[in-house]
Amino acid sequence: MDEGPVDVTPYECGSRPFEAVDKHRFSVKFFLVAMLFILFDIEAAFLIPWAVTFKSFAADKAFVLGEMLVFLGILVAGYLYLLWRGALEWE
């Protein structure tokens, strides 16, 4: 099977790319910020249903509130650690 120059060229969706791949690399900092955004977005996904169903907790509401405050305290401590380490500074 004869491979011509067209067969080995990179393409995307049937057309040639505009730039070479190695000219446009993303910084690792971009991916770190993206992962941190996903982490704190998942935290909101846990908080909203908890807040909606908080009134329906029949028994010890103080215990349930305390557990959520512990959860939020851990998240705030992690956020402060990220700020202290400079993980959110964009250079």
Q: Give tens-digit pLDDT for 16-70.
A: 666 655 566 667 777 888 888 888 888 888 888 888 888 887 777 888 889 889 9
Record the tokens describing residue 23, joined without a space: 């000219």
Record the tokens describing residue 57, joined without a space: 């907790």
At 77, the pLDDT band (50, 70, 90 cuts) reads: very high
Residue 11 within a domain: no
Residue 15 within a domain: no
Residue 3 within a domain: no
H-type helices in 1-91, by residue range?
28-53, 61-85
Which domain covers residue 36, as residue numbers?
A: 26-85
At 79, the pLDDT band (50, 70, 90 cuts) reads: confident
Cβ contact 52:46 at 8 Å: no
What domain count does the chain have?
Answer: 1
- pTM for this model (two decimals): 0.58
CA distance 73 to 84: 16
